[in-house]
C-alpha cells in the first residue's frame, strides 16, 4: 500500500491456487509399495472400477489424461479412487480422435508404444496406462509386470477373470485392439449382473434338503 498526499493507492498481487480434496489414504502408489499384507479382492475391484469410471468421465468430456499412473490416483476415506494431476492432459476436439505431438511427456512404464514411437495420442493412450495400473492392482505389486503375470492369479472368480482379460487387452501393442473405456465399464457391469443372477448353491446334505425324505421326517427321528 502506498500513500500519496490524501490519495491512497493499493497494489494487489493476484495469485492462483489449485485446491484438491483431501485424500486421507494417500495415493495408489503408496498403497502398492508400502502394504505389508494382501488386500481383499473386493477392495481391489472397487479401486479398479472407480478408476475406470473416472477415466470414463474424462473421455466423455474429450479429455485425455496422458499421465495416468498409481501416483496420480488418490484414495479417499473409503478407498474410493480419485484421478488427479492434469499437467499433461489434453482437451480434444470431439471430431478429432487422434493427434500427433512433438511434445512427448509421460511416465516410463505407463506410456503407450505409439506415443513413444510415433508421438501419437488418442484415447487408447490412457487405456494402455489403465491396463498397467490394473495389472499392478491385480498382482498387488509395484514391480514392472512380467509377460506371464496373469498365470500366478487364481482365476476362479468371474470378476477377477474378467479384469485379467481386460488388463491384457488394454496392454495390446496395437491401439486399435484395445477396448474403449466405455466397453470396459460395460464388460464389468455385465459381469457383475451375471454374478448376481447365479442362484446360490444348494446344500445337498439330505437332512438339510427340503426335498429329501430325511428332511421331511426329521422331526420324528
Min mean pLDDT across 7-16, 32-41, 139-148 is at 7-16
pLDDT band for 97, please (50, 70, 90 cuts).
Answer: confident
| Residues listed for the chain | 221
Residue 93 has pLDDT above 70, yes or no: yes
HEC secondary structure over the chain:
CEEECCEEECCCCCCCCCCCCCCCCCEHHHHHHHCCCCCCHHHHHHHHHHHHHHHHHHHHCCEECCCCCHHHEEECCCCCEEECCCCCCEECCCCCCEEECCCCCCCCCCCCHHHHHHCEEEHHHHHHHHHHHHHHHHHCCCCCCCCCHHHHCCCCCHHHHHHHHHHHHHCCCCHHHCCCHHHHHHHHHHHHHHHHHCCCCCCCCHHHCCCCHHHHCHHHC
195: pLDDT confidence band, cut at 50, 70 and 90? Answer: confident
With a cut of 70, say whether residue 95 has pLDDT above it. no
Tell me, yes or no, if the pTM score tops 0.85: no
Instruction: Tell me the catalytic residues.
Output: 67
Instruction: Round to whole Å and give the CA distance between 207 and 218.
Output: 7
pLDDT (0 to 100) of residue 219: 42
What percentage of the chain reaches a pLDDT higher than 70?
78
For 124-172, write each residue's pLDDT tens digit: 999 999 999 999 999 988 888 888 898 888 767 899 999 999 999 999 9
Q: Average of pLDDT values for 44-58? A: 96
What residue segments make up the domains of the chain, in order of their start? 41-192
Question: What pLDDT is attached to residue 220?
Answer: 42
Pick the CATH number of 41-192 from 1.10.510.10, 3.40.50.280, 3.10.20.520, 3.30.200.20: 1.10.510.10
Amino acid at each position: 500500500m502506498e500513500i500519496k498526499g490524501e490519495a491512497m493507492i493499493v497494489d494487489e498481487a493476484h495469485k492462483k491456487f489449485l485446491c484438491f480434496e483431501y485424500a486421507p489414504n494417500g495415493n495408489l502408489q503408496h498403497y502398492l509399495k508400502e502394504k505389508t499384507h494382501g488386500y481383499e479382492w473386493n477392495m481391489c475391484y472397487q479401486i479398479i472400477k472407480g478408476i475406470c469410471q473416472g477415466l470414463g468421465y474424462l473421455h466423455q468430456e474429450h479429455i485425455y489424461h496422458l499421465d495416468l499412473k498409481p501416483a496420480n490416483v488418490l484414495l479417499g476415506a473409503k478407498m474410493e479412487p480419485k484421478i488427479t494431476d492434469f499437467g499433461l492432459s489434453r482437451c480434444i476436439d470431439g471430431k478429432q480422435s487422434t493427434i500427433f505431438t512433438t511434445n512427448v511427456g509421460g511416465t516410463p512404464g505407463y506410456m503407450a508404444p505409439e506415443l513413444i514411437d510415433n508421438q501419437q495420442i488418442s484415447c487408447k493412450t490412457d487405456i494402455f496406462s489403465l491396463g498397467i495400473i490394473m495389472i499392478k492392482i491385480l498382482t498387488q505389486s509395484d514391480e514392472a509386470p512380467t509377460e506371464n503375470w496373469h498365470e500366478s492369479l487364481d482365476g476362479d472368480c468371474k470378476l477377477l477373470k474378467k479384469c485379467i482379460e481386460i488388463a491384457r487387452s488394454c496392454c495390446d501393442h496395437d491401439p486399435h485392439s484395445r477396448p474403449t473405456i466405455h466397453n470396459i465399464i460395460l464388460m464389468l457391469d455385465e459381469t457383475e449382473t451375471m454374478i448376481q443372477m447365479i442362484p446360490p448353491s444348494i446344500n445337498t446334505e439330505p437332512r438339510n434338503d427340503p426335498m429329501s425324505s430325511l428332511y421331511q421326517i426329521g422331526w420324528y427321528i
